[in-house]
Amino acid sequence: MKNPDRPIPEENETGTFITVRDGIEIFVYEFASVGDFKNTIYIISGITGINHKSEKDIIELLSNKNRIVVIHPRGTGYSEGSRGDTSPESIIEDYCEIIEGDSSFFSADKKIILFGHSMSCAFALEVAARIRSIDGLILVNLPYRLKPVKGMSPGFSAYMKYIGYYLFAPHSPVVNMAGDPSAIMDESDRIESELRNNDSLLVKYFSMHCMTESKRIMDAMAENAMEADIPLLLLYGENDNIVDRSGCDEIFSVWKGQNKRFELIKEGSHGKSTVIRSAEVISKWIERL
C-alpha cells in the first residue's frame, strides 16, 4: 500500500511550477489551440490527480477556441506534497489561489469555466462556491449517489480494516481508490482503469484522514448546488455503472441558477466515452455562455 515517489518532469516537459502560499510547488499545464482564445477552462481533479498527457483527447476536445489549464493537485503528479495523505482542503485552496491569480480571471471578455468529471465534480463545486465570479460549470457523471460496484465498492472486511486505520493510523495510506480493473464490466472503463493503475502521475492509496475530508466535500455538493447561481451543463452517461442517475437529478433540481442544462448521453460510460460523445453538446453550450 505504498504510493510511488513523486516523478520529476523531464527538461523538455511542457508546463510550469507555481509556488503557492505555503511554499509548495504546484505543476500547471496549459494548452490553447488558437492564440486569441475565447475562454479558459480549468480541468479540476480530485485527490487521485490527473495525467495531462493521457488526457490529451479530452483537452483537445475542450480546446475549441478555448485555453485549457490542468493543475496537478498537491501530492499528485509533478506537484510537491504528501502522496496519499494530502489535505483535500489544501487542494481546494490551491485551485482558488491559482485561478484567482490567472490573468484571464481579470479579463472582462474571457470567461472562466470549471470542468469536473466524477469525484472532481465535488471539488469543482467547492471551488465555485468560494470563487463567486466563475462563469460556468461542466460536470460529468456527478457522484452524489453511487451504485454498489464489484471491483470498486469495499466489502465488510475492508470496512473493518479502514475503521482500524481511522482509529490508530489515520495518516497511513490504506484505501485503494484505483479499484480492480478485472472486475469492471464496461470495456472502455476497464481499459482506462488499467492505465490509471499503472500511471505514476496518479495516486492510488489514501489515508483515512484524506478520505474523511474528501467525503465532507462530496457531501457538500447539494448545499453548494443550492447556492450556485451560475450556468451549469450536467452530463450523465446512461451506461454509467458507478454513478446513480438519481444523484444527478437531485443536484440538477436544487441548482439555484436558472441557466442549467442536463443531458443524458446515450451509451456513455462512467469514463471518457461520456465526454467524447458529448463533444458537440459541450461546444454549443460554451458558445452560448
pLDDT band at 151 (very low <50, low <70, confident <90, very high): low
User: How many Cα atoms within 13 Å fall on the side-chain side of residue 169?
Assistant: 10
- Alpha-carbon distance of 85 to 27, in angstroms, equals 18
The mean pLDDT value for 1-22 works out to 94
What crossing angle do the helices spanning 208-219 and 156-168 adopt, rounded to 10°? 110
- The domain segmentation of the chain, as residue ranges, is 16-148+214-287
Residue 90 sits at φ, ψ, to 5 deg, of: -65, -35
Q: At 140, give phi and psi (nearest 5°).
A: -120, 125
Q: Note whether 215 and 242 are within 8 A (CB).
A: no
For 44, the 3-state DSSP assignment is coil
- Confidence class of residue 154 from pLDDT cuts 50, 70 and 90? low
Rounded Cα gap, residues 136 and 133, in angstroms:
9
Mean pLDDT across the stretch 209-221? 97
When pLDDT is averaged across residues 206-226 and rounded to a whole number, the result is 97
CA–CA separation, 87 and 236 (whole Å):
28
DSSP reduced 3-state for 240 = coil
What does DSSP assign to residue 209?
H
Cα-Cα-Cα-Cα dihedral sign, residues 36, 37, 39, 43: negative
pTM: 0.93
Least confident interval from 67-76, 106-115, 227-236, 255-264: 106-115
Q: How far apart are CA 56 and CA 61, in angstroms?
A: 8
42 confidence band (pLDDT: 50, 70, 90): very high
Average pLDDT estimate for 158-178: 91
DSSP readout, 62-83? HTTTEEEEEE--TTSTTS-S-T
Q: Which fold has domain 16-148+214-287?
A: Rossmann fold (3.40.50)
Give the angle subtended at the CA of 71 by the CAs of 15 and 187, to the nearest 5°.
Answer: 105
Q: What is the mean pLDDT of residues 152-170?
A: 83
Pairing of strands 66-71, 39-43: parallel
Residues 91-136: tens digit of each pLDDT: 999 999 999 999 888 787 889 999 999 999 999 999 999 998 899 9
| pLDDT for 150 | 60
Q: Which helix (H) or strand (E) holds 276?
A: helix 272-277
Q: Which tens digit of pLDDT belongs to each residue from 238-276?
A: 999 999 999 999 999 999 999 999 999 999 999 999 999
More confident residue, 210 or 36: 210
Kindly state the average pLDDT of the residues 195-223.
Answer: 94
Q: Please, what sign has the CA dihedral across residues 179, 181, 57, 267?
A: negative
Q: Residue range 130-147: average pLDDT?
A: 95
Q: Per-residue pLDDT for 228 more than 90? A: yes
pLDDT at residue number 153: 59
At 204 the three-state DSSP class reads coil
Predicted pLDDT at 205: 95
Inter-CA distances, 277 with 182, 218, 221, 281, Å: 25, 26, 25, 9
Name the residue with cell 454513478.
243
Residue 168 has pLDDT above 70, yes or no: yes
